[in-house]
Amino acid sequence: MKARILIGTLGFVALSSMASDARRADGLTAWEQVYSVLISPRCINCHTAANHPQQGDDRRRHFANVTRGPEGKGVAGLHCAGCHQAVNADSTGVPGNRNWHLAPLSMKWQDLQGRPLSSAAVCRAVTDRSKNHDLDGAALLKHHAEDALVLWAWNPGRRPDGTPRTVPSLTHTEFVDATRRWVEAGTPCPK
Amino acid sequence: MPEMTTYQLNVNGERRQVAVDSSTPLLWVLREELKMTGTKYGCGIGACGACTVHLGGIATRSCLVPVSLAGERPIVTIEGIGHDRIGRIVQDAWVDQDVVQCGYCQSGQIMSVVALLKSTRKPTDANIEESLGGNLCRCGTYVRIREAVKRAAGKLA
């Protein structure tokens, strides 16, 4: 009798472990989809490690000597909102959003040479509540689903030459779905 | 033929009405419609700062802002900045320091300096370089500009 109980318990533990491994694997797959969006130019250009934002699909330094400023919104004579209005200005080719700003250095997703950080490093930063404005998984999902500046990445307007800016590789719906699966798996990060 | 839209603008404290294409940059509304030519056209892409005005209190590149996005926000140009205490002090410092050479960029420079001094009464050299980093002067008057900024800041203390 005892032997049967022991075998049953071990079997349950093994099945639970397998389920947990599968859940983590699914979560990691979902994270890689999320990461593919985060390192798109529309997102990572304002998640720099330097004192300035980037622009364009080639992620060059923002022109006109624009700098980060104390709150990530530029400096007095050269404020982000001095060019970037509340909405895209397609006639002049300037993208816009009411909350246009650089992400804080704690949320940098690239190194000082402009190379995107690894999937594992970005995941650690995004899930570190001491760096991410104390967002838990549910709050991260809400941020990806509803934040106006996140949504801008799928409505980035036109370049000064009139051509449309590129958008991330996933649709916003796919991005939110991937985030949801990653959150439901416990926001696992690659090692 | 572009469709004209009527806009009510608040320019230097006055209500001004214009009827223009909605995509017209604020710069051209000021210069061509309102005949306020103190604000200069330099590059047209926000790279030189010659067209700087204050829009809602923020130093703004007027060549990049379609008039349709100006809304109700107050617009202050070089023609009106002298009515502002800090603006007057900056303009006086500009004269005292004999900053200007050709003068083309100077209205934009002054508008950016006023924005700087409204937020930072005692700017460091780094503050000045960053805030004026987008205002180009082909005459190279940068040293005199810096001295004038410090002179104005001294009078604000």
Cβ-nearest to A64 among B47, B66, B119: B47
What pLDDT was estimated at residue B106?
Answer: 97
> What does DSSP say about strands B52-55 and B58-61: parallel, antiparallel, or unpaired?
antiparallel
**CATH superfamily of the domain spanning B4-76:** Beta-grasp domain (3.10.20.30)
Q: How far is CA A157 from CA A21, A53, A80, A93, B25, in A?
A: 42, 18, 17, 8, 17
What pLDDT was estimated at residue A110?
Answer: 97
- Residue A8, pLDDT > 80, answer no
CB B132 within 8 A of CB B145: yes
Q: Within chain B, which residue ranges are assigned CATH 1.10.150.120?
A: 81-156
pLDDT bucket at A186, cuts 50 / 70 / 90: very high
Residue carrying structure tokens 């300037």: A94
CB contact (8 A) between residue B65 and residue A91: no
What pLDDT was estimated at residue B1?
Answer: 72
Q: Within chain B, which residue ranges are assigned CATH 3.10.20.30?
A: 4-76
The 3-class secondary structure across A35-87, one letter per residue, is: HHHHCCHHHHCCCCCCCCCEECCCCEECCCCCCCCCCCCEECCEEHHHCCCCC
- Residue A53, pLDDT > 70, answer yes
How many angstroms away from the CA of B153 is the closest CA of chain A? Answer: 15
What pLDDT was estimated at residue A10?
Answer: 62
Q: Work out the average pLDDT over A97-112.
A: 96
A-chain CB neighbours of B60 within 8 Å are: 81-83
- Residue A1, pLDDT > 70, answer no
A-chain CB neighbours of B41 within 8 Å are: none
Chain B residues 54-93 within an 8 A CB cutoff of chain A = 55, 58-61, 63-66, 69
Residues 6+ apart with CB under 8 A from A141: A176, A179, A180, A183
The 3-class secondary structure across A16-36, one letter per residue, is: HHHHHHHHHHHHHHHHHHHHH
Give the model confidence (pLDDT) of B120-147 as tens digits.
Answer: 999 999 999 999 999 999 999 999 999 9
What pLDDT was estimated at residue A19?
Answer: 78
> What does DSSP say about strands A74-75 and A60-61: parallel, antiparallel, or unpaired?
unpaired
What pLDDT was estimated at residue A6?
Answer: 64
pLDDT bucket at A17, cuts 50 / 70 / 90: confident
Q: How far is CA B141 from CA A18, B68, B92, B120, in A?
A: 71, 35, 17, 22
B81-156: CATH number: 1.10.150.120
How many angstroms away from the CA of A46 is the closest CA of chain B? Answer: 18
Complex ipTM: 0.95
- Name the closest residue on chain B to residue A69, using Cα atoms: B130
- How many beta carbons lie within 10 A of that of residue B93, not counting itself? 23
Give the model confidence (pLDDT) of A74-86 as tens digits.
Answer: 999 999 999 999 9
pLDDT bucket at B28, cuts 50 / 70 / 90: very high
Give the model confidence (pLDDT) of A34-50 as tens digits.
Answer: 999 999 999 999 999 99
B127 at interface of A, judged by CB pairs closer than 8 A: yes
> What's the mean per-residue pLDDT of chain A?
94
What pLDDT was estimated at residue A12?
Answer: 61
pLDDT bucket at B94, cuts 50 / 70 / 90: very high
What pLDDT was estimated at residue B2?
Answer: 80
pLDDT bucket at A15, cuts 50 / 70 / 90: low
- Residue A3, pLDDT > 90, answer no
Give the model confidence (pLDDT) of B47-69 as tens digits.
Answer: 999 999 999 999 999 999 999 99
What pLDDT was estimated at residue A109?
Answer: 98
Q: Work out the average pLDDT over A79-102.
A: 97
What pLDDT was estimated at residue A11?
Answer: 66
